[in-house]
Structure 1
Amino acid sequence: MAVSGRKISDFHGSISRGSAEDFDQCCEPCLALGQHKEAHGLCVECQEYFCKNCYIYHQQIKATKHHQLLDKENMENNSVDLAVCTEEYHIHKNEIVKFFCTNHEALGCTDCITLNHRVCKIDYIPDKCAGIGDRDEYKETLRELDQKLNDIDAVIKKATLQDKEIDSSYDHVVTEIVKFRKEINDRLDQLQMKIQTDADKKMLNDKQTVKNVLDTCTAVSSDIKKFKSSLQDSKTSQQNGQLYIMIKQAKNKIKLDKLKTAQESLDQTSIKYTFQRNKELENLTKQDIFGNLNLPTTKVSLETKKEFDTLTHSGDINVRTNSDVTECSITGCAVLSNNKLVLVDKNNKKLKVLDMSSKAVTKEKTLDSVPWGIATVPPDHIAATIPKKKEIWLMETRKLKIICRIPVKGKCKGITYHQGHFYVVCWDPYRLFIVDTKSNFNKIFFLHGKIFTNPNYILIRPIISD
C-alpha cells in the first residue's frame, strides 16, 4: 500500500546542499539523543535517515535486517519507489508486510516467515510488485470484485423480497389461525346448543312424568279417603245395605291400582343423567393438535420461474484441451457461478472448469478413475461420482482438491445435492440412495427395472407450497 512520505528527490537535495557542519538531513536516531550527525542513508520501511553507524546497525539487528536500505550511492544512481511495503502487520506490531507465501496464500512480515513459513516458497513483495497494475491478475481481481458486488446486490434484492414475503406469510398465517378458531367456536356453539336442546327436552319430559305421578297419587289418595269416610259413616249409621255396596266399590277401586301404574312410570324415568365428553375433542385440550405451522420442504426462489418456450442454438464451445488423450465425453455438468461451469469428461478422466465469458477451459483435474456425475455443494465444494470405486469424491472448487471420499453401496452414476444430503442413482441393482456428508444412509429406494431402464441421472424439483 503506497503511503505518502519522503521522496528521493528530497534526499538528493539535502545531501547536495549540506556540508560537514551544515546539512539539512540528520541521523534521526542520533538526533533523538541530541547529536547532530549527517545522514548517510535512508530506510524505506522505517522512513528514517541514518548516519553510517546507525545504518550499519540497522542492517545487523534481527528485527530490521530485511528492511530496504538506500545509501548515498544507490540514491544517486537508482530511481526507487519508496512507497512500497509500508502496511503494518496486524499480528506482529511494528512489523511491515513484505512477503507472500505461495504455499498457504498468506501475507506476512519477517517474523511470520521466520516462524511459520521457513520451508515454503516465498515471494518478496518489493521484487514482485513492479508493474502489477498492468498484469492480468489485477484486472481479474477487479472483475472478481465487480462480480462479488453483483452477487451481493442479488442477495440483497432476494433478501428484501423475502423480508416482504415473510411479512405477507405471517399475516396470512395469523388470518388463517383466527379464521379457523372462529370456525371451531361456531361449530362448538352449534354442538353445545344441540346438546342443551336435548337436555331441555329430557328435563321437560321427566318433569311432566313426575307431575303426572304426583297428580295420580293425589287423586287416588283423595278417592281412598272418601271411601274410608263413607264406610265409617255407613257403619256408624248401621246402614248395612249401603255399607255392603261401599265395601264392594272400594275393593273395585283398589283393584284398579293406579298407584302401581304411577310407580312403574316413575321407576322408568332416569333422573340422574350426565354429560359425557367426546374423547377426541377432550384430547384437543391435552395435545397440540389445533394445527401446525406448515413449512415448505424446499427453499424456493421468490422470483417467478419461467419455462423455456423454445431452445435456441447460440453457439458451440470447444472443451477439448491440449492434454486430452481422446475425444471428450461430457457426462455431467454443474453451475459454479454466474459465468462458470464444471464439466465431467468421462473419456479423459477429467473435471474441467469452463469460463462462459471467455468460452474456454480455465482449469482441469485429472483423476485416477473414471468420473460420471457432478453436483455443487454450497458454499464452495463439488461432489463427483466414481462408479468403479463406488465412491463420492467431495472436492473444494478453487483447486479441485479432494477433501474426502464417501463410500456408496453401488456403481454410482447421477448425483444431486439438497439440504445436507446427496441423492445418488446406482446400478447393480438399480437403486436410489439418500446419504449425508458423513456417510450415513438415510433411505434406499429400489428402482424397478420395468419402469427405470438404465437410470443415469436424478433431478430434485422444488415443490412450491401455496
Structure 2
Amino acid sequence: MDGSDEVCEIFCEPCEKAKQKTIAEGFCVDCSEYLCGQCFNHHKRFKQFEHHVLQDKNSMPLDPKHTVSKYVCTSKCQVHADEVIKYICKTCDKIGCNVCMTIDHRSCDGVRYIPDEVKKSVTSVEIQEFAKMIDDMHVVQQELYSKIGQNFQVSDQMIKTACMDLERQKDQIVSFFESLYDTMKTEVVKNRT
C-alpha cells in the first residue's frame, strides 16, 4: 500500500483508557485529547470543561501526536462566552474576541490578530537578543558548576592529604613514645640492679 493511500484511524482516548476502541470524532485542544461522539458531547456538558476549545471531526488535527499550532488562540472571551479571544487592541491595551473588536474597537487603529503578533515577537531582534543573553547565562552557569566540581575535587584531595599527614605524625609520635618508654624501662631496670 502506498504511503498516501494509508488511512490512520484515531481512537477516542478516554475510551481507550477504558479498554474500548471507539473512532474519534472530535478533539479537545485544552486537554489535547481525541474524543468519540459520545465523549465529545459529554465534554461540552460538564462545568469544568465549559471553556475548553473543541474541534469537530472536520477541524480536528489528523496527526495522532496532537500537533496543534502553537499560535492557536484557545482562551474564551469573558464577555462573549462562546467566542475565543483572537485580537489585541494596542490602542486601548485590551484583548477580545471578534465581537468585542467589532463593537468596541471599530475605530481603533491598533487592532491586531494575536497569532500574527506572537509570530512577529518570536522573530523580533529584542526577543533574539534576550534568548542569546539567556544562552550566554546558561554557559556561564555551566562553567560555574564545572568550577565548583573542580573545587570539590581539590578540597577532597586536601582533606585526604591532611588525614595522611595526621596519620604519619601520629605514627611518629607513637613511635617516639614507644622508643622513650623502652629507653626509660631499660634505665629503670639498669638502676635497680
TM interval, shorter chain, is: 0.3 to 0.5
User: Based on CA coordinates, which of the two structures has the bigger radius of gyration?
Assistant: 1
More helix by share: 2
Task: Normalising by structure 2, report the TM-score.
Answer: 0.42
More strand by share: 1
Task: Normalising by structure 1, report the TM-score.
Answer: 0.20
Structure with higher RCO (Cα < 8 A, 6+ apart): 2
